[in-house]
Amino acid sequence: MNLEAELIAKYAEGVLDFSGLNLAESNFSSINLSGINLSQANLSVANLSGINLSKADLTNAQMNVARLSGANLTDAILNGCSLNVANLVRADLSRAQLCGASLVRGELVRADLTRANLSDANLSGADLREATLRQVNLRHANLSEANLRGCFLREANLEMANLQGTELGACDLTGANLQNTELRQANLSLANLTGADLRGANLRWVDLRGANLSCADLSDAKLSGANLTGADLTNANLTNTSFVHANLTQAKLIKVEWNGADLSGATLTGAKLHGTPRFGLKIEGIICQWVDLSTNGDRSIIQNFTPEKAKEFFNLTPPSLQIIIDLPLNHQANFVLAGTYYKISQEYPALIQPPNIEISARRTTLTFCIDNDLTLFSTAFIAVLPFQDANITKTNIYTMVDMMRAEFIQQQDLKSIKIVKQLIIFLSKAMRKAKIIEETNRNLGAAQKLSFFKAPTRTVLTNSHSKNLTVYDHPQFGKKIPNNEEISDKSVYTIPDFAVIADFIKEFYCIG
């Protein structure tokens, strides 16, 4: 009886331990050896196609150049196993343990590795085309120069893995962990990376043409020289990301967060930038002939640039709103102020972040950071609610917007009309919210009893081009008021000329 037949006979009798055996070039094709112990065994060049090795122990086994096509290795233990140049085409390795295993140039086309553990494994040069690797653990694994085209890698863990030069075209990496992963010169064209974690990843010179990176976290990632032509980065986190000399031609950058991003030498011609802030960026040498500012990226709102205008467009400052109160903030007023704005933010989330507060011997300055130029007027309409000057300030805001509407219609200034339409939409929503807040917020009543909220105020808007517009300045602001004297909110304040207001909003861009 040869060794193969002897092993099969003993296995049939219930013997499971065959560790350390030399079974090189043996033939166990289509045999059931489920649960067998072949740890330390030599199965190199063996024919194991179609074999059932589910739950088998193959720890540190030698299986180089073995044929395992169609094999069942579910729940098998292959830690430290050597499977170099092995044929695992269509093999089922779901939930298998392959920690530290070597699969150099292994053939795993359409293999199933769902929830398998391949941490620290070596798969360099392996062929994994169209393999299923859902929730696989490839942490610290080496996949350099491997072919994973069309792989299903949803929720896979590839943290700190080496994927340099790897083929990942058309892969599904939705929700995958690629934190601090090495991806230099990899091909990720048409890959789906929706919601993927790419924080700190090295994506230099990567091909991401047409890739879906919506809602992905690329903060602190390195994409120097990467090709992102036509990529979708909607709602992505690009904080402190490096795009030096990257190609973002016609990329979808709608509502991205990219404060601190380095776009030096990058190409952004045709980028879709609806709802994306344009400040806090490094833009030296940026190349951009035009951008698409339409809501859905349908090119209905195009803005063309000269080189100088492009620099100006991408070099804005954060819009802000300042309410200056002609009285220093005391502890009681501070307590009421915090409670009032907290309650207001429940109805108007744009004020969820508390203002920066500066207190001098005479005055208090509240500074609110605003996401978008177009919400400056509407946010001011809500932010002034705690103060006695609220009514006249709100009236001024409404008057200014209505004045612009009438004048721009008369001038047939279509671009400015679109901007004002957006201002009216935001202001109308703010007016409805203000009514609800005034009817339900008890903190407003408490505020009205304190001297701090009765003091003269000055409300100033600053747009993203650092231009200021004062929407209200109490005539008694800066003047000494006798103790306990009431300050009337009916004081006369002349709003700025139309030319001043128009100049302030001319640089706004329409988002709808």
The H-or-E segment that residue 473 falls in is: strand 468-473
State pTM to two decimals: 0.75
pLDDT of 178 > 50? The answer is: yes
Lowest-confidence range among 129-138, 229-238, 483-492?
A: 483-492
pLDDT of 187 > 80? The answer is: yes
Q: What is the mean pLDDT of residues 223-246?
A: 98
pLDDT of 486 > 60? The answer is: no
Look at residues 219, 146, 123, 230 and name the one whose alpha carbon lies nearest to residue 178.
219
> pLDDT per residue over 372-430, tens digit each?
888 999 999 999 999 999 999 999 999 999 999 998 888 888 888 888 999 999 999 99
- Packed helices 498-505 and 390-411: angle between N→C axes, nearest 10 degrees: 80
Per-residue pLDDT at 332: 94
The 271-272 sheet, strands edge to edge: 271-272, 290-292, 302-304
Biggest CA–CA distance in the chain, Å, is 114
The whole-chain average pLDDT of the chain stands at 93
pLDDT of 510 > 60? The answer is: no
pLDDT of 491 > 70? The answer is: no
Per-residue pLDDT at 481: 58
Who contacts 428 (Cβ-Cβ below 8 Å, separation ≥6)?
none
The H-or-E segment that residue 458 falls in is: strand 457-462
pLDDT of 512 > 60? The answer is: no
Give the pLDDT band (50/70/90) at residue 489: very low
> pLDDT per residue over 81-120, tens digit each?
999 999 999 999 999 999 999 999 999 999 999 999 999 9
Per-residue pLDDT at 511: 46
pLDDT of 466 > 90? The answer is: no
For residues 245, 188, 281 and 261, what is the CA-based torsion angle, rounded to 10 degrees? -110
> pLDDT per residue over 249-302, tens digit each?
999 999 999 989 999 999 999 999 988 888 889 999 999 999 998 888 888 888
Per-residue pLDDT at 509: 57
Select the more confidently predicted residue: 157 or 305: 157
CB 356 within 8 A of CB 364: no
Per-domain residue ranges of the chain: 320-505
Counting residues of the chain whose pLDDT is more than 90, the rounded percentage is: 79
- Pull the structure tokens for residue 128: 């994994």
Counting residues of the chain whose pLDDT is more than 70, the rounded percentage is: 96
